[in-house]
Amino acid sequence: MKAAVVVFPGTTCDFDAYDALKEGVGVDTEYVFYQTRDLSKYSLVVLPGGFTYGDYLRSGAIASRTPILDAVRDYVEKEWGFVVGICNGFQILTESRILPGALTRNHTNAFICKPVGLRIANAETPFTEEFEPGERLSLPIAHADGRYVADPATLQRLHKNRQIFLVYDPENPNGSVDNIAGITNEKQNVFGLMPHPERFWHPWLGSDVGIRFFRSLVRRVRHG
Amino acid sequence: MPVYHAELLVYLRPDLLDPQGRAVKHALNTLGFHEVEDVRMGKAIRIRLQAENDSQARDRLKEMAEKLLTNPVIEDYRILSLEQEP
């Protein structure tokens, strides 16, 4: 299998995502640039964190209108593999409407960079299978626009389909609705989360709990 | 083709918390402006564009707003002004 790490102008977490996949999980990983129009040869596409286009207009807004997002949309519809958006990558996925809702300014109005407490809200998704139901973990966050919001109908659908796979617990750092930290789409082939699992992929970084998300996906790709 | 100057105003939808506006409101209250009940911060976007006429300019601005300039999930906008360049 092959994995792609998408690089836009202003992406900053591409090396970490690459290392987590290549060194941590042993997947053949390539950087692909935002002009790319075909992702069909990859089993996994990661939109890493950063500050694409300087966060101008809205975080992720300009990146979400680049050609590669048409390729991502196509990739998702044809179910060629999995898409993961981390932090700014999550913002790009909501801005492009591939995932529902939106990410707006933290209720504290501040950029927050620290490890936070989280809980696995659904351990039956391809991204969370290596976790126990309700398992608690800690991952770093680093964002100013991480407050997930959605209209009541969307929220109801997210709960009903168990699309919320990760929640802040016990403290919600950004004021997101229902403590949402990560969601998937209905088909469970797209995952978006504000915390950074790729920053906790090796004990050298303080923890390797993040690698379990990537291992879950890779196992699903390799063994179905 | 005539040239138009447009100004768009974009605000977070009224049902959403605006942390910047809240901070500014608190600051105004602290300065003694106790009559201030609410502050909402938005952004203004000035655009110079070519258009055949006023209504075509409006249509194009609406398209721009929907395609890129605003996120309708969280924002409302209006065209504040549209004037033809003399």
Residues B5-18 have pLDDT tens digits of 999 999 999 999 99
Is B80 an 8 Å CB contact of chain A? no
Please tell me the distance from the alpha carbon of residue A87 to that of residue A103, in angstroms, as a whole number. Answer: 10
Q: Minimal Cα distance from A105: which residue of B?
A: B19
Given this model, what pLDDT does residue A29 score?
Answer: 98
Name residue, tokens 């994995």: A3
| ipTM entry | 0.90
Domain ranges of chain B: 3-84
Cβ contact, residue pair A57, B20, below 8 Å: no
Name residue, tokens 């707006």: A104
pTM: 0.96
Does residue A195 contact residue A141 with C-beta atoms inside 8 Å?
Answer: yes
Burial of A112 (0-12, 13-18, 19+ CB in 10 A): middle
What is the extent of the structural domain holding A53?
2-223
Burial of A54 (0-12, 13-18, 19+ CB in 10 A): exposed
pLDDT tens for each residue of chain A, 224 residues long? 999 999 999 999 999 999 999 999 999 999 999 999 999 999 999 999 999 999 999 999 999 999 999 999 999 999 999 999 999 999 999 999 999 999 999 999 999 999 999 999 999 999 999 999 999 999 999 999 999 999 999 999 999 999 999 999 999 999 999 999 999 999 999 999 999 999 999 999 999 999 999 999 999 999 87
Given this model, what pLDDT does residue A224 score?
Answer: 75
* CATH code 3.20.20.370 for B3-84: no
Question: In terms of Cα–Cα distance, which of A198, A139, A212, A216 is closest to A15?
Answer: A198
Report, as an integer, the average pLDDT of B79-86. 95
Is B71 an 8 Å CB contact of chain A? yes
Domain CATH code at residue A17:
3.40.50.880
Please tell me the distance from the alpha carbon of residue A35 to that of residue A196, in angstroms, as a whole number. Answer: 25
CA distances from A204 to A207, A208, B51 (A): 7, 8, 59
Given this model, what pLDDT does residue A21 score?
Answer: 98
CA contacts within 13 A on the Cβ side of A211: 17
Does residue A167 contact residue A159 with C-beta atoms inside 8 Å?
Answer: no
Min distance A107 CA to chain B CA atoms (Å): 6
Query: Considering its fold, how many domains does chain A have in total?
Result: 1
Is B12 an 8 Å CB contact of chain A? yes
Please tell me the distance from the alpha carbon of residue A6 to that of residue A204, in angstroms, as a whole number. Answer: 25
Residues B16-62 have pLDDT tens digits of 999 999 999 999 999 999 999 999 999 999 999 999 999 999 999 99
Q: Which residues on chain A are in Cβ contact (under 8 Å) with B74? A: 102, 104, 149
